[in-house]
Amino acid sequence: MSELHRLLTFPSRPITDAAYATELHRFLASGIPATYTLEQVAAFEQGRGAEQDDIDGSNTTPLHILTRSLPLSLTEEETDVVLKMMDILFEYGAGWNFIDYENKTIGDLLLEKGQDRNGKLYKRVVAAGVSAELLLRKINGGEIEFLEVDRDDQAQEETVSTTAAVVQPDTDRTADDSKTYLATPLEYTDDSLITKDNKDGVMMDWETEIMAVAAKTICSTGSAKEKIILNVGFGMGIIDTFIQKEKPTQHYICEAHPDVLARMKTDGWYDRPNVIILEGKWQDSLNKLLDEGDTFFDGIYYDTFSEHYQDMLDLYDVVVGLLKPEGVFSFFNGLGADRPLCYDVYREIVTIDVNNYGMNCQYANVSVNLNQDWQNVKRSYFNCNYYYHPRITFT
Ligand SMILES: C[S@@+](CC[C@H](N)C(=O)[O-])C[C@H]1O[C@@H](n2cnc3c(N)ncnc32)[C@H](O)[C@@H]1O
């Protein structure tokens, strides 16, 4: 362990500015990187070279050591010193989304140490994540390079370092890209819709409660005389079944996959008097509606598969054109949901992005039953036992 690392274990109390923040600053100003990991120290001690990164390995950074060592009984003054230390580490280039030797993010460790999600320290890490994501988007000139971390690839971690072990995606997935997915055969099981060969979970019935809440949200405006609702992505038709119970005057369903469309035919969705099916990708169907200029919705829901957050940014353009002034937009929020910290970062990013479109996002917490059996699918795509349900309206 280096001197820097030792300092971050808080060997003495109280945690004061002079003993810790000033010392930390001195170390970093002398050239020790804020990303100097325990793994690099070990590699150096074993003569493998401190600069050697193990791309598949962990990165136990100074911030991990600091959060792991946090006393449970921090005073208010000590919390402020720790916050200052975090500021210094971020200022010197510490990353927010590295994972350590126990596969934990800084956010995981803070929560384990009893820090509150709304507390200064956790919020500081989220703020660092949001800044890093938005900055990278700018640097990439709009070409956002997201890594998929959830079911439908909306939520995606950007790497903050090309060599470091950050939250990593499972890259071996049919669901990686929309074109491949739409040409991939699907299979309906008793409680899910999966890709036939890869067993990627497209939709699973543990989400039923979320879909029930979402249907209520998007059907909450409009009147008995005119309630026009749009759902993008049919999947198992769970939300569409709930929407039907709200008796919309017109219920549009946009769906692109041939196997899903075939299922919708068999199940009689094409014959329902108030249902209008838009076959094909929303990118085509909805832009056509926009061009025609005579259909506007009281509620819009978006839940697709194999799309990226960039697609959602494109969707916002369409939503602002198709939503009535009092209308409500919502979507399946799996953005970053395989890691609580990433989930919190994307919660903020969505808020910022929709604000830029003159919209406001409010979240409701829905508890999620995580006893879901993931046996029949390749990997779990939701690892939080709560769900941030978004309700987006014009401000
Ligand atoms: C997760 S499922 C939707 C589940 C649905 N919310 C429910 O309650 O059952 C995603 C659906 O979006 C469809 N989809 C994927 N990309 C699409 C696109 N670009 N346009 C329209 N539908 C798409 C998929 O074929 C799939 O049926």
- Please determine, for residue 126, whether its predicted confidence score (pLDDT) is greater than 80: yes
Question: d(Cα 271, Cα 60) in Å, to the nearest integer?
Answer: 58
Q: 326: pLDDT confidence band, cut at 50, 70 and 90? A: very high
CATH number listed for the domain at residues 175-394: 3.40.50.150
Which residue type, as a one-letter code, is found at position 67?
T
312 CA distance to ligand 1 middle (Å): 13
Ligand 1 neighbour 7 (Cβ under 6 A): no
HSE-CB of 115 using CA atoms within 13 angstroms: 28
- Please determine, for residue 155, whether its predicted confidence score (pLDDT) is greater than 50: no
Q: From the centroid of its chain, how far is CA 52?
A: 30
Q: 177: pLDDT confidence band, cut at 50, 70 and 90? A: confident
134 CA distance to ligand 1 middle (Å): 27
- Cα(first)–Cα(last) distance of the chain, in Å? 52
pLDDT at 139: 84
DSSP 215-233: HHHHTSSS-SS--EEEEE-
Average pLDDT of the chain, as a whole number: 89
Which residue type, as a one-letter code, is found at position 51?
E
| Mean pLDDT of the region 384-391 | 95
Helix ranges, the chain (H) = 3-7, 22-29, 38-45, 62-68, 76-91, 106-112, 120-139, 178-182, 208-218, 238-245, 258-266, 282-292, 309-322, 340-355
Question: d(Cα 61, Cα 213) in Å, to the nearest integer?
Answer: 40
364 CA distance to ligand 1 middle (Å): 23
Domain ranges of the chain: 3-139, 175-394
- Please determine, for residue 207, whether its predicted confidence score (pLDDT) is greater than 80: yes
- Please determine, for residue 268, whether its predicted confidence score (pLDDT) is greater than 60: yes
Nearest atom (ligand 1) to Cα of 207: 8
Q: 159: pLDDT confidence band, cut at 50, 70 and 90? A: very low
Q: 164: pLDDT confidence band, cut at 50, 70 and 90? A: very low
pLDDT at 157: 38
- Please determine, for residue 221, whether its predicted confidence score (pLDDT) is greater than 70: yes
**Helix H or strand E encompassing 365:** strand 359-367
- Rounded to two decimals, the ipTM of the complex is 1.00
